Amino acid sequence: MVITGKPARQRLLPYLLVFPTVLFVTVFTVYPTLRAVVNSLYRQRLNIAKYRTPAFVGLENYIQLFNDPEFLTVLTNTFIYVLGVVPLCVATAFVFAELVNKKMRGIGFVRLALFHPSILPLVSAATIWMFLFTPDYGLFNSALRLFGYTGPENWTANPDLALMSVMIVAVWKNTGFFMIFYLAGLQNLPQSVYEAAKLEGAGPIRTAVSITLPLLKRTSLFVSTIAFISAFQAVDHVFVLTGGGPSNKSTILLFYLWQERFEKLNVGQSSAITVILIIILLVFTISNFVVSERKEVDYE
């Protein structure tokens, strides 16, 4: 494409406008990513004198990682965490949005109550939950006992419950935020379809499944994408609640990355984990994009 007849100043303008963004993305995204890829091919351990200077080792860091049962446990934990938290968050968010999408007195308060966890910093939220999870007198356990729960109560230290405790906090924290997107989506839907459904005699569940959900498909895609990414990003509550324990039972990828880099001072290995994390997120984002593009065609 050749642009003619326009003054140079005008041709330059678009580039000037995108320049700050390009600069920002280059400095804070492209460069660190490339740096991680390069570092992941080197052996560098800051706390071992002879490995202090980086030495090229090819894919050694990756080979070591995938042969390390501990790393495989962490990967498994991460997938359990993500595959548990994301669907639960999205489904609950949708149900909550349906429930609060009404005009009635005090609904603003209910919405606020459901939304407020997402305003709290994750660290504070986790600290509060630490108390809720306390055996014997913790509120969470007291509430469970009301429903006849008699199982173990040491949520953050029990090998079978630690990961779940971290997931519970994540779901509690994020659901309100995703609810807002569904609520916005619901309020934009045309009322005429609902009137028609009502005339046809469709109940609330039938309406939700056959009308609301298909119409909100784009919202669902958007919400599940950010839910997925934020599930990989969240790490603060692990520090507060379990410290990855007991015996690595609640260690997830980003926490493990922090341990490798800042506790074990293993620069090469932690760069490799960074690259793996980026690849997982890229694969998901790209496939999600491809799927959503195809779905769009179906709907037009």
Partner 1 sequence: MKHGMTVSVLLLGLIFVPNLIAGGQQEAVAGEEVSIEVYYPVAVDAPIAKILDGYIAEFEESNPGITVKPVFSGGYGDVKTAVQTTIEGGGTPPALAVLLATDLYDLLNAGYIAPFDPFLDSMKGEKAYLNDFYDSFLENSRYEGQIWSLPFQRSAVVMYYNADLFRDQGIAKPDSWEALAVAARDLTKKEGDKIVRWGIEWPSDWPYWLFQPLAIGNGQNIVGDSDTDVFFDDPKVIEAIEYYISLSEKYEAMPSGVQASWGAAPSNFASGNTAMIVHSTGSLTGILNQTDFQVGVMPIPASTKGEFASVPGGGNLYLMDGVSDAEKAAAFRFAQFLTEPERVADFSIQTGYIATRKSAYKTDVMKAYTGKIPQALETRDALEYAGKELSIQNLGEVRNIFHNYIQAAFNGEMSAREAMQTAQVKAEKALEDFK
- Candidates 5, 109, 147, 263; binder of partner 1 (CB under 8 A) is 263
Segment (H or E) for 55: strand 55-56
Q: 175 or 271: whose CB is closer to partner 1?
A: 271
Burial class of residue 191 (count of CB atoms within 10 Å of its CB; 0-12, 13-18, 19+): exposed
CA distance 210 to 173: 29
Question: Are 118 and 176 a contacting pair, CB within 8 Å?
Answer: yes
Instruction: Find tokens 């041709």 and name the residue.
Output: 11
- Candidates 114, 230, 255, 272; binder of partner 1 (CB under 8 A) is 230
- Of the listed pieces 94-102, 111-119, 205-213, 246-254, which binds partner 1 according to CB under 8 A? 246-254
Our finding on whether 72 is near partner 1 (CB under 8 A) is no
Which of the 8 DSSP states describes residue 87?
Answer: H
Site for partner 1 in 82-121 (CB under 8 A): none
Our finding on whether 66 is near partner 1 (CB under 8 A) is no
Our finding on whether 29 is near partner 1 (CB under 8 A) is yes
Q: 57 or 281: whose CB is closer to partner 1?
A: 281
- Of the listed pieces 80-88, 110-118, 214-222, 229-237, which binds partner 1 according to CB under 8 A? 229-237
Our finding on whether 124 is near partner 1 (CB under 8 A) is no
Residue 165 is encoded by which pair of tokens?
């405790």
Our finding on whether 130 is near partner 1 (CB under 8 A) is yes
Instruction: Give the amino acid at 68.
Output: D
Question: Are 165 and 133 a contacting pair, CB within 8 Å?
Answer: yes
